[in-house]
Chains A and B, each alone.
Chain A
Amino acid sequence: MVPVQYYLALAGILFAIGAVGVALRRNVIVMFMSIELMLNAANLAFVAIARGLHSMDGQVIVFFVMTVAAAEAAVGLAIILASFRNRTTLDAAQLSSLKW
């Protein structure tokens, strides 16, 4: 069996790639997809540690994370739709009316 640390290291790398995506991209939808990537990296770490501990709790947490991600995607994409109707842009740099 592959050691648990290898999975954790892969999860760390995927999380870092997702974080770079949020910082790098200006398109709100791509930033959103990067957040999904970070959530999946966390899920991978949960399942890896659940395997190491022989406990089902980690997999149950992943189940809840997926539910929250689905809710987040539904509400977030609805917000993106509404903001696109009002501002006709998805560029995060131009959605700055809350900025002081």
Chain B
Amino acid sequence: MTMGIAEIIFFLVGAVAIASAFGVILHPHPVYSALSLVVALFQIAVLFILLDAPTVAFLQVLVYAGAIMVLFLFVIMLLNLGRDSAAAPAGWKLTALGAGGLLGAELAAFFLLRVVPPSAVGALDPGFGSVKALAHALFTDHALSFEITSILLLVAMVGAVVLARRGID
């Protein structure tokens, strides 16, 4: 494989994504975990752009790194969380890290060595991944799912208001 500009960006961004993902799970302070997660989400948005999905990358930054992470940081600061009071026992820590390392190595080896990549013949459509293409797929083939999603969001909004209200018995 020749190292073009796309490969260099991929390996750079992938390394930062893995490093910041480790930051999420290893940093003892929840605020730094949340900020590491923002970095990881931005790296994944860059990977989406490399994969010809600019609309999804835009939504990733707007919805995930923007709205959802603000919600997380808001709750962390509202509850005034500091460092974790008690860490997990050392034996359990080692077991979790070992099992997770095995899982990661297994998944990576499986995808790299055993999976035949799906590949369509011919060149990519010029509008692939654009807002227009995504909206067309969303409002024709997946219109029913789209409508059901709006009900889900309504239910989630009502549920969040009811649960977070003070004086619930």
B residues near A44, Cβ cutoff 8 Å: 44, 47-48
Size of the A side of the interface (Cβ < 8 Å), in residues, is 73
Q: Which of B37, B59, B153, B161 contacts A33 (CB 8 A)?
A: B37
Q: Is the Cβ of A82 less than 8 Å from the Cβ of B163?
A: yes
The contact string, 1 if C-beta is below 8 Å from chain A, for chain B 145-164, is 10001001101110111011
Q: Are A37 and B164 in contact (CB under 8 A)?
A: no
For B93, give the chain A residue with the smallest CB separation.
A24
Given contacts A5-B117, A27-B81, A80-B75, 11 further A-B contacts (CB under 8 A): A8-B115, A10-B14, A12-B108, A25-B88, A30-B25, A63-B59, A64-B149, A66-B63, A72-B156, A75-B156, A91-B86
Q: Identify whether the interface residues of A are mostly helix, strand, loop, or mixed.
A: helix
B binding-site residues for A, Cβ under 8 Å? 1, 6-7, 10, 14, 17-18, 21-22, 24-25, 30, 33-34, 37, 40-41, 44, 47-48, 50-53, 55-56, 59-60, 63-64, 67-68, 71-72, 75-76, 78-79, 81, 84-88, 93, 96-97, 99-101, 103-104, 107-108, 110-112, 115, 117-120, 122, 124-125, 128-129, 133-134, 136-138, 141-142, 145, 149, 152-153, 155-157, 159-161, 163-164, 166, 168
